[in-house]
């Protein structure tokens, strides 16, 4: 006789990038195994692979995980994690007033949102004729540590995230030009124009939460802004 199946609750969230509503569930023992094995291996690639697999499973395999912007993937995982193992993350944060004392801080995961910088846009006007439309990077493009970017990686990332190039009435789709064309196009930009493209990455949406807490030693108030998924599980 087959054993009974435990009912699993379902929840709904809105994807930050598109406002599309998706249904998700908490992760089960099978997903917890995936995460524990990845944490045991300890490398960024294993953890990223586990994170994507868990989100894929817990959204009923209805999302194209490989195409999901980094901040969407992190946001969904955070919501799944909150409903799975607890809606509060316990962290030790360094007190900035003395630079040596750590304080125990509780972070309500449901309060963490994706922050959109005012004025941010994926459409970048380079001159009177040329406009570039960008797409947001995925985990494959950025990796677990977006801050670890060399010059070569930065140029590679820019190339991967250019979706379309508008030249007056003419539209150049990404499929219409090869890597050599793209490299020559980027090399032809002046510093100000390339900075505009870099600004897209610097201001793109990200998980963000401002924490206010007191130094247990000096009793002074501290304020820290946590950004990105890793910040909430240190």
Tokens of 27: 């992760």
Residue 28, judged by CB atoms within 10 A of its CB (0-12, 13-18, 19+), counts as: middle
Nearest alpha-carbon partner for 162 in 179, 145, 144, 139: 179
Per-residue pLDDT for 1 more than 80?
Answer: no
- Distance in Å from the first CA to the final CA of the chain: 45
State pLDDT tens for residues 62-88: 989 989 999 999 999 999 999 998 889
**139 closest CA partner among 22, 57, 232, 51:** 51
Q: What is the pTM of this model?
A: 0.88
C-alpha–C-alpha distance, residues 18 and 196, integer Å: 23
CA distance linking residue 142 with residue 159, whole number of Å: 13
d(CA 128, CA 14): 36
Whether 188 shows a pLDDT value over 70: the answer reads yes
Structure confidence at residue 35 (pLDDT): 87
Sign of CA dihedral 189, 192, 197, 198: positive
Mean pLDDT along residues 130-153: 77
Q: pLDDT tier at 145 (50, 70, 90 boundaries)?
A: low
Mean pLDDT for the stretch of residues 40-58: 87
């Amino acid at each position: 006789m087959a054993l009974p199946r435990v009912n699993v609750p379902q929840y709904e969230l809105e994807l930050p990038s598109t406002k599309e509503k998706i249904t998700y569930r908490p992760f089960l023992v099978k997903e917890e195994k995936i995460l524990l094995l990845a944490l045991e291996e300890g490398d960024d690639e294993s953890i990223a692979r586990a994170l994507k697999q868990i989100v894929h499973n817990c959204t009923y395999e209805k999302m194209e995980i490989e195409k999901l912007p980094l901040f969407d993937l992190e946001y969904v995982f955070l919501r799944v994690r909150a409903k799975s193992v607890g809606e509060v993350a316990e962290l030790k944060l360094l007190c900035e007033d003395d630079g040596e004392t750590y304080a125990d801080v509780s972070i309500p995961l449901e309060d963490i949102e994706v922050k959109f910088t005012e004025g941010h846009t994926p459409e970048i006007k380079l001159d009177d004729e040329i406009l570039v439309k960008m797409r947001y990077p995925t985990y494959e493009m950025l990796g677990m540590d977006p801050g670890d970017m060399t010059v070569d990686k930065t140029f590679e990332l820019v190339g991967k995230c250019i979706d379309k190039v508008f030249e007056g009435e003419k539209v150049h789709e990404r499929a219409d030009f090869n890597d050599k064309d793209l490299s020559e196009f980027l090399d032809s930009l002046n510093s100000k124009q390339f900075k505009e493209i870099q600004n897209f990455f610097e201001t793109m949406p990200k998980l963000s939460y401002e924490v206010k807490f007191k130094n247990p030693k000096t009793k002074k108030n501290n304020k820290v802004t946590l950004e990105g998924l890793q910040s909430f599980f240190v």
